[in-house]
Amino acid sequence: MTFFEESDHNLLFRYDGECVLLTPWGNDSLRVRSSMLSEIADESIALQMPQDFSARDTKITITDERHASIRNGRLTAELFVQEWGNALQITYVNQNGEILLREIANGGALAKKARKFKPLPGGNFRLTVSFESDPEEKIYGMGQYQQERMNLKGCNLELAHRNSQVSIPFYLSSLGYGFLWHNAAIGEVHFGLNTTEWSADVTKQMDYWITAGDTPAEIEGHYASCVGTAPMMPEYGLGFWQCKLRYFNQEQVLEIAREYKKRQIPIDVIVIDYYHWPRCGDWRFDEEYFPEPAKMVEELHQMGIETMVSVWPQVDWRSENFEEMKQQGLLVKINSGVDVQMTFHGNNVFMDATNPRTRDYVWEKCRKNYAGLGIRLFWLDEAEPEFTTYDYELYRYHAGAVSEIGNIYPREYSRLFFEGQQAIGQKDIVNLVRCAWAGSQKYGALVWSGDIWSSYEDFRKQICAGLHMGLCGIPWWTTDIGGFHGGNINSPDFIELLLRWFQFGTFCPVMRLHGLRMPGEPIINQKGEEREWTGAANEVWSYGEDAYRIMVKFIRIREMMRDYTRTLMEEAHTAGTPVMRALFYEFPQDKNCWEILDEYMYGADILAAPVCHEKAQGRTVYLPAGARWIHAGSGEAYDGGASYEIPAPIDTIPVFLREGRQEYLIHQI
């Protein structure tokens, strides 16, 4: 009996209706696919073959009818057909023969399946894939989950998007490998101590990618070569961005911009938030509040400030575009019942970003009504999209059922604008978006962490979120400085939190002040209709003189780092390197660095340790072994490999520099 076949550098296993195909896919990497009662499909929803990769050096060995292997560089897959039931078990090892990952065995009489296809009506399957688990392994990545945790071992994660939750199914292991679950279905992953178990609610086949590397940087480089990298960050992405919920008319926007210029405070971008439109789905300014948007944009440009406008994918039943989009089939479909997918200022459905015709239609509206005015930056809100109940099985996209393909929506939303902007000749593209999936970075996606609370707990969660996102190939990431919900500008406690968050924001890939500040004010239009309200003031001068002095100080520090930040963005563009890096990324040999969740590297040379506990006037800072460190405020030198108690009054943040590098920051923080 013959289980294995070799064909064009691929290794194929067949038994009892199942095909398993292992394909060299980039340096030290394999793509692994399995299908039941069908041939392997060739399509790829995220993976791209690196242009400079050749599989000529791949070695395939079929030892006997039950043993075979395929080696690609430092990664080898060893295949063993177990005698009980002829079940296939795959083990992945590195160049030293060390086990990186292994499928579960069938357990003899237990008759377990490492790849379990459960048939569903219509021909698809519910898929479960199970691996053995090393209890000492540490796991990082997987996107953005709102939890104060770096090592994901032991975590149960939903493979689905929500407001402030971003599911990107790639992780980096402390054992020396990276793993991408190449499946956009709604599902789950359980990083248990006994097994790691992936599931897809609805799918046609199994598809994952695994790579080996001696350092986290090598693993991340392999991953980036197969899913793409971000464009080069435009110059206006390196400085300070001003935003709030919400500047509701054009005079308010201009007054704020003029005040920044009058005070000579550096500012690169001002953001016009949602409901500047008449109805969701109109994709244009409301003439009552923005009567001359072209003049507004031109004046901002004359001040050297870029304009960003919010775009929502919702289409109100009353929108001027709703009936045409419904007739043309450009909207997300509900499988049954009344077609209302979100209720907010009316009944709304979502435009279908997975449909190329929808992307053309929506971009044409935005090209005419925004880009035609000189606007080059878009804020792509609601990108999950935010189905009110998150009952994913109720909805269907052009690309397929949401249960089967739903997680690609935010990437296709970013793609809509990126390709539209490219088509009109724009080169420097960056769009703020609330969600992402594998490959979103290729489309100029700057992800922010959603509608989080103004609390120290949420603040700490964002540090972890940013580090995980960087490891998932999303180097452009930011938060609402100060949090989104619950910040009262008259509260001394909130002002303290805001300042600590502002310091953290200075050392984020993009520095952006935003939030719904209390107390708010209602907005009533000329027809007597209540519009979306506006929050309290949220400019740097809105919180008193002491806070103003501190925030302006950190904006100027951000400006001092512009050249340095630009080099980090170049690294992200060329190699997929995170801007905001977990300590172990730079210091993988220091075991302590794999445990720390509230410090990080801003690039290779700057260590930031935000003060993220209420009323704290200092904190413990661990400095990695392998370098000496210079305190950026005092200039004092510290040995690496030890922890220190560092004072940090409200006007400063503990920041350390690798000795001999970037000394221009000394005495400034």
250-262 and 293-302 helices cross at what angle (nearest 10)?
A: 10
Instruction: Calculate the CA 560 to chain-centre distance.
Output: 27
Give catalytic status of residue 381 as yes or no.
yes
Separation CA 512–CA 306 (nearest Å): 13
DSSP string over 94-160: -TT--EEEEBPP--GGG---SEEEEE-TTS-EEEEEEEE--TT--EEEEEE-SSS-S--TT-EEEES
Please enumerate in sequence order all residues whose Cβ is within 8 A of that of 492, keeping only pairs 6 or more positions apart, or say none: none
Separation CA 536–CA 519 (nearest Å): 6
Q: How crowded is residue 393: how many other Cβ atoms within 10 Å of its Cβ?
A: 14
387 DSSP 8-state letter? -
Separation CA 13–CA 18 (nearest Å): 8
Nearest to 114 by CA among 134, 138, 131: 131
In the structure encoding, which two tokens stand for residue 668, read together?
């400034």
Separation CA 74–CA 178 (nearest Å): 13
Q: Is 573 exposed, middle or buried (0-12, 13-18, 19+ CB in 10 A)?
A: middle
- One-letter amino acid at 575 equals A
Is residue 419 helix, strand or coil?
helix
* Torsional sign, CA 130, 136, 142, 146: positive
Residue with tokens 């050096």: 57
Catalytic member of 360, 451, 532, 559: 451
* Torsional sign, CA 298, 299, 305, 310: negative
Residue with tokens 């009892």: 16
595 DSSP 8-state letter? T
* Torsional sign, CA 415, 417, 421, 423: positive
Please enumerate in sequence order all residues whose Cβ is within 8 A of that of 669, keeping only pairs 6 or more positions apart, or say none: 557, 632, 633, 652, 653, 655
Helices (runs of H) and strands (runs of E) counted in the chain: 12, 44
Please enumerate in sequence order all residues whose Cβ is within 8 A of that of 317, keeping only pairs 6 or more positions apart, or say none: 346, 347, 348, 349
Catalytic member of 218, 220, 384, 599: 384
Catalytic member of 103, 306, 381, 590: 381
Give catalytic status of residue 451 as yes or no.
yes
CB 132 within 8 A of CB 102: yes
- Within 16-104, residue ranges assigned H as helices are none
Give catalytic status of residue 286 as yes or no.
no
Distances (CA, A) of 519 to 69, 486, 535: 65, 10, 6
Please enumerate in sequence order all residues whose Cβ is within 8 A of that of 274, keeping only pairs 6 or more positions apart, or say none: 245, 246, 310, 312, 381, 532
DSSP string over 480-496: -BT-SBSEETT-HHHHH
State the catalytic residues: 381, 384, 451
